[in-house]
Amino acid sequence: MVIKFSTAVALSCPACGCLEKEEVNIFELPLGELKQLKCSCGADKASLLRKENSYIEIYYFCLNCNQAHKMVISPEKFWHSQNLNPLPCKEEGLNPGFFGPPEKVTKEIRKEKEELNLMAEELGFDDFKNPEIMLQALDVIDDLALKGSISCECGSADINIELFTDRIQLICNNCSTHLNISASDNYDLEKLRHLNSIELHDVQGEANNSLDPWINL
DSSP class of 209? P
Boundary-marking domain end, from 55, 89, 117: 117
For the stretch 69-111, pLDDT in tens is 999 999 999 999 999 999 998 777 778 899 999 999 999 999 8
| Judgement on whether residues 20 and 43 belong to the same structural domain of the protein | yes
State how many domains the chain has: 2
**Residue 30 pLDDT > 80, yes or no?**
yes
| Judgement on whether residues 112 and 29 belong to the same structural domain of the protein | yes
- pLDDT band at residue 118 under the 50/70/90 scheme: confident
| Judgement on whether residues 103 and 27 belong to the same structural domain of the protein | yes
| Judgement on whether residues 105 and 128 belong to the same structural domain of the protein | no
* Percentage of the residues of the chain whose pLDDT score is greater than 90: 42
Residue 16's φ and ψ, nearest 5 degrees, are: -115, -10
How buried is residue 212: exposed, middle or buried, by Cβ count under 10 Å (0-12/13-18/19+)?
exposed
Boundary-marking domain end, from 117, 148, 171: 117
For the stretch 153-193, pLDDT in tens is 999 989 988 888 889 999 999 999 999 999 888 888 888 88
| Judgement on whether residues 50 and 135 belong to the same structural domain of the protein | no
| Judgement on whether residues 183 and 101 belong to the same structural domain of the protein | no
Where are any strands of DSSP class E within 101-137?
none
| Judgement on whether residues 34 and 101 belong to the same structural domain of the protein | yes
Highest mean pLDDT among 15-29, 55-69, 71-85, 199-213: 71-85
Rounded to the nearest integer, the mean pLDDT of the chain is 84
Q: Which domain holds residue 95?
A: 6-117
What is the reported pLDDT for 125? 61
**Residue 36 pLDDT > 90, yes or no?**
yes
113-118 long-range Cβ contacts below 8 angstroms, 24+ apart? 113/19
Which strand (E) or helix (H) includes residue 49? strand 44-50
| Judgement on whether residues 47 and 97 belong to the same structural domain of the protein | yes
Boundary-marking domain end, from 59, 94, 117: 117
| Judgement on whether residues 103 and 137 belong to the same structural domain of the protein | no
| Judgement on whether residues 140 and 176 belong to the same structural domain of the protein | yes
